[in-house]
Structure 1
Amino acid sequence: MAQLTGPAKLAAVQKILDDLAKDLESPVLKPQERDVALEQLKLYGRNPSYAEPIFTKRGLEILTKFAFDSASDTTSRNALRVLCNTLFLQEQTRQVFVSLGYEAKACLKLRNDSWEDEFLISRLILLTTYGTNIDLPTLIENEQLADTIIQNLSRHAKRLAGTKPAPNTADPMAGMALEETLKLLFNVTNFAKDHLSAFDRAFPHISSLLSTLPPPQASAPLDPPFGLLINTLVNLDASTPTARAALFPVDKPTLLIDRLLQLLDLSLKTYNDTELEQSVTQLVCTFSLLYEHAPKPGSPAGADTDTEKDTARTVLQKTLLPTEQDRVTVLGRADTLPSRLLRNWTNPLTPNFGRAIAHLFFDLSDKSPVRFVENVGYGYASGFLFENNINVPEEALRAQGGSGQGSSSSAGGANAGRGRREVNPITGQFLDEERFADLPEMTMEEKEREAERLFVLFERLRQTGVVDVENPVATAMREGRIQELSDDDDAAEDLD
């Protein structure tokens, strides 16, 4: 089709809308002519310049009637494409569409067993969740919006069940429809938080999709639909029996967690700082959510697992908490998944990602300050504990060893059974692995200055309330292990 520009384009757009308006009053156009006219409007509407009539209330009303009142699926979909483009390009048109009162018909059309209708209607409703007064609770309660979204997810889960680890060659529109459905699910649950219970039955389908989709591309592990599935998972209420049964199936309690750990490992190896901050933060939050709601060892929900090591909680601890390999050096320096997480915890370019990691490690430590320090070292833990006004017991700052290092054995600790190798509580490194530079011995005066500096630092730390321990320098002075230099000592040192 020849594309006009400038005033000629404006005149053409106006004529097409006039012809379509007349056709609504008294059908005069043949089906093919009607569809050609809508296709031409779609092309012209991609650039709002000199296409203003499309973006008016009259233009939107004409398009909406063809989209929802036409007996022809082809005509309806052609009109929907123009509508979606229009609402995407100019925000003010979204409220105009909502004011026309077609939301109920949109929800009804979303039930069609058609990938194309699912794609177009999901996108249309999604766009109306931005900057309008659309009544999502009413659509959930009276128009079965939640039930329809869940039914569409079910169709995708059945479609993808049993797929081989090879690229999906199915209808590309099906994949696009799944992406729009997941975006819609995220927005509706985000803006209608009081109605999360209506989406409880979505958990089995989300879990199934995450677990059975072919492995992601190593170069973009969180590309759709993986990232979208994770976002929706975080939005929902995972505390219900339906959610727990879907997330931790009795026969394969770690199936979903294994896939998410794979995505995390690939993401940390692939994405740059900006991508980690924007895309991977939600994935880390997902692990905190799963750990919180996973069956605890010995609980009725977790009683059917063969051994404690098979539980979701212990898999998360053993995989994400620092291991003996990490403790050969200062924590965060090894090339392991826990060390990569620790390095990003303190990355100034990923503040939200870092906070999510800190909360995850605290959760994996069962929110115990002592275990938290044991697991990650006081060097990492101190900032988090201070920011969250959590006091550190004195025992957390002593060198740790034995099975107490890491999470407690009762929690399925990642590092239980380590023997009696003591660990530096600040760095998390095994004490017998520490190496120090071969520096000349400090003079007595240097030792005194260092003792004074440490005394001041500990006093300042005590005043913050972060730790409640006695100043070790004061203790050493009281026990006679530190003595003030006499003038004779200074003179002797000067002679040396």
Structure 2
Amino acid sequence: MAGQGVPKHQRVQEIISTLKEDIKEQKLSSQDRVRNLEELKVYSREAQGCESIYTLEVTGTVSAAFKSGAGIRTLCTLGFDDTSHYETSREALRCLANSLLLSAPSRQTLIDLGYADKASDRLVSDKLDDEFLLGRILLLLTYAKLDIAGLVGGHDLAANMNSAVRRHSTRCSKRKESESPLDPMEELALTEILKLMYNITHFAPDFAGLFEKSIPHIFNILNARKLASPPLQSPVTWMINAVANLQFAGNEHHLFPEDNPTRHISKLIEILDGSLHKENLELDAKHAFDDEGSVLLGVMGNMYQVATPEAKAYMRQRLLPTTEERKRPLGRGDTLSARLLNLTTEALAPKARVVTGRLLFELSDLNPGKFITNVGFGYASGFLMSNGIPVPPEALDKTVELNGTPINPVTGQTLEAEERDQKPLSEMTDEEKMREAEKMFVLFERLKKTGVVDVKNPVEAAIEGGRFQEMD
């Protein structure tokens, strides 16, 4: 054994040679075969010393230069060709999963040997261990030259994956009734299938339509799940990713069920709300949210496009500023809508910033005037300018009203609250005057860039007129 003085690479080669011989001679007992594979599985967790797994022919001395793939062929034979010995097959698949993860060339070797087809066929199994291992292997193969069309068309890959997701959905429904504990392998298996679904729909979008049958089952699983903190972590992130590339048009009855049209979108808003809480969005978490949160926000925007009137009204109610919030300039406070507005200016989350602006624009029915009224010109201007969307001059008129109440189109605050809060200049401290001047400078610069009106920044005019004085 390697732990008893035998070098790891030598012991790995010995195991591969023993298993290869036994395929021909069948001298090992099932227990010995499994024991060898279990030992090999431990070694295969690190690439160093496992060259014999990745070779095509195990010949010559230990130091010989091997061609690529021999151990892979041996493990494929044990894992796929004889499934009557389940323990042997499962351990071989575990060794394969480890090896494909650590050796990219081995993925193409497995495909060239024809075992991707067998992995797809075998995914029909309802055993969680099989589902996890086969899902992991097929997922890794998507990063090689995998014939996805052949697997989908000739080996029922999409159908088998849809069936796997449906089985998980059924388990969720039963577990909800009986409150039985979650099997950890169930979560691992589901995660691999969802990852595989995302990769296939990403690398081969033409086949995305084949996975639309899984939409109601994925949302059923998501709704049955108690959220962790922060909510955007596996497997929730993979459920959202899995539907991100799917077509929502034509699936409205799945997304907005008649008995509860807001059920699914409510869960997504709950996930978003929890993800944007201050404690879940510290500095180091903003980069992670940029990737995961932008997918969530994109899915919500796609859902709004096909939503029922009731669901659209619900989304606007939950995500846009309320009348109560307009007692102050928008973006202040800790409401979900305020946090969304602040996300549109978040430098550390560039992708989420753009997708948030797009979602809020969707909620405004793609109407730039309504968009400015809903979120204030200060937040709307960046999105409109970066997308080349002209600003209607009337949207910045002081007579703009929302639900019959006059508002400041720049800040989104009601004029009544603005007048009440406005402090006379004589009562302001120097610090307050500086803050007001800074806000005015920023707003005038944004207004200038729109080209809607020809306006000169009063601070700039003061400097040119010699009325600007340096202070200690």
Q: Same-fold call, TM > 0.5?
A: yes
- Opposite residue 392 of structure 2, the aligned amino acid is P
Matched, 1:355 2:365: no
Correspondence for 1:161? 173
Are the equivalent residues in 2 in contact too, given 1:393–1:467 (CA < 8 A)? Answer: no
Distance change in 2, residues 1:281/1:144 (3 Å): same
* 2:187 counterpart (163, 175, 183): 175
Correspondence for 1:313? 312
- Opposite residue 361 of structure 2, the aligned amino acid is F
* 2:133 counterpart (97, 101, 120): 120
| Number of residue pairs matched by the alignment | 427
1:286-336 Cα distance to aligned partner (Å, 9 max, x none): 1101101113x3xxxxxxxxxxxxx11000001101111221111100221
Correspondence for 1:203? 215
* 1:223 counterpart (227, 233, 237): 233
CA distance in 2 between counterparts of 1:426 and 1:461 reads 9
Are the equivalent residues in 2 in contact too, given 1:459–1:471 (CA < 8 A)? Answer: no
Max Rg structure: 1
Are the equivalent residues in 2 in contact too, given 1:46–1:85 (CA < 8 A)? Answer: yes
Shift of 1:55: 1.9
SS of aligned partner of 2:406 = coil
- Aligned runs of 1:325-404 on 2, under 5 Å? 325-402=324-401
Matched, 1:110 2:94: no
Correspondence for 1:8? 7
Matched, 1:194 2:206: yes
- Opposite residue 92 of structure 2, the aligned amino acid is A
CA distance in 1 between counterparts of 2:26 and 2:175 reads 47
Shift of 1:461: 5.9
CA distance in 1 between counterparts of 2:150 and 2:50 reads 34
CA distance in 1 between counterparts of 2:357 and 2:179 reads 36
SS of aligned partner of 2:416 = helix
1:362-407 Cα distance to aligned partner (Å, 9 max, x none): 00000000000000111111111111111111110013554xx2xx
Matched, 1:247 2:252: no
CA distance in 2 between counterparts of 1:293 and 1:144 reads 30
CA distance in 1 between counterparts of 2:88 and 2:409 reads 70
Distance change in 2, residues 1:3/1:327 (3 Å): farther
Matched, 1:274 2:248: no
Are the equivalent residues in 1 in contact too, given 2:329–2:411 (CA < 8 A)? Answer: yes
CA distance in 2 between counterparts of 1:372 and 1:103 reads 50
Shift of 1:436: 3.3
CA distance in 1 between counterparts of 2:40 and 2:409 reads 68
Are the equivalent residues in 2 in contact too, given 1:35–1:78 (CA < 8 A)? Answer: yes
* 1:214 counterpart (222, 225, 229): 225
Are the equivalent residues in 2 in contact too, given 1:374–1:400 (CA < 8 A)? Answer: no
CA distance in 2 between counterparts of 1:163 and 1:460 reads 54
Distance change in 2, residues 1:165/1:398 (3 Å): farther
Are the equivalent residues in 2 in contact too, given 1:358–1:384 (CA < 8 A)? Answer: yes
Are the equivalent residues in 1 in contact too, given 2:447–2:453 (CA < 8 A)? Answer: no
Shift of 1:47: 1.9
Matched, 1:427 2:439: no
* 2:112 counterpart (90, 95, 99): 99
Shift of 1:93: 1.5
Matched, 1:83 2:71: no
Alpha-carbon RMSD across the aligned residues, in angstroms, is: 2.6
Matched, 1:143 2:179: no
- Opposite residue 94 of structure 1, the aligned amino acid is R
Shift of 1:458: 7.5
TM-score, normalised to structure 1, is 0.81
Distance change in 2, residues 1:352/1:32 (3 Å): same
Are the equivalent residues in 1 in contact too, given 2:400–2:408 (CA < 8 A)? Answer: no
CA distance in 2 between counterparts of 1:186 and 1:375 reads 34
1:4-32 Cα distance to aligned partner (Å, 9 max, x none): 38862222111111111111112111100
- Opposite residue 190 of structure 2, the aligned amino acid is L
Q: Which moved more, 1:195-204 or 1:146-155?
A: 195-204
Shift of 1:437: 4.0
TM-score, normalised to structure 2, is 0.85
Shift of 1:198: 1.3
Shift of 1:155: 0.2
Are the equivalent residues in 1 in contact too, given 2:2–2:11 (CA < 8 A)? Answer: no
Correspondence for 1:444? none
Correspondence for 2:78? 66
Are the equivalent residues in 2 in contact too, given 1:231–1:282 (CA < 8 A)? Answer: yes
Q: Which runs of 5+ in 1 are unaligned?
A: 298-310, 406-415, 442-453, 474-484, 491-496
CA distance in 2 between counterparts of 1:468 and 1:244 reads 39
Correspondence for 1:258? 266
Shift of 1:467: 4.0
CA distance in 2 between counterparts of 1:166 and 1:148 reads 27
SS of aligned partner of 2:206 = helix
- Opposite residue 167 of structure 2, the aligned amino acid is R
Are the equivalent residues in 1 in contact too, given 2:222–2:239 (CA < 8 A)? Answer: yes
SS of aligned partner of 1:52 = coil
Are the equivalent residues in 2 in contact too, given 1:331–1:429 (CA < 8 A)? Answer: yes
CA distance in 2 between counterparts of 1:349 and 1:5 reads 51
1:404-448 Cα distance to aligned partner (Å, 9 max, x none): x2xxxxxxxxxx4xxx4321111111122223343249xxxxxxx
* 2:424 counterpart (419, 438, 450): 438
Are the equivalent residues in 1 in contact too, given 2:54–2:106 (CA < 8 A)? Answer: yes
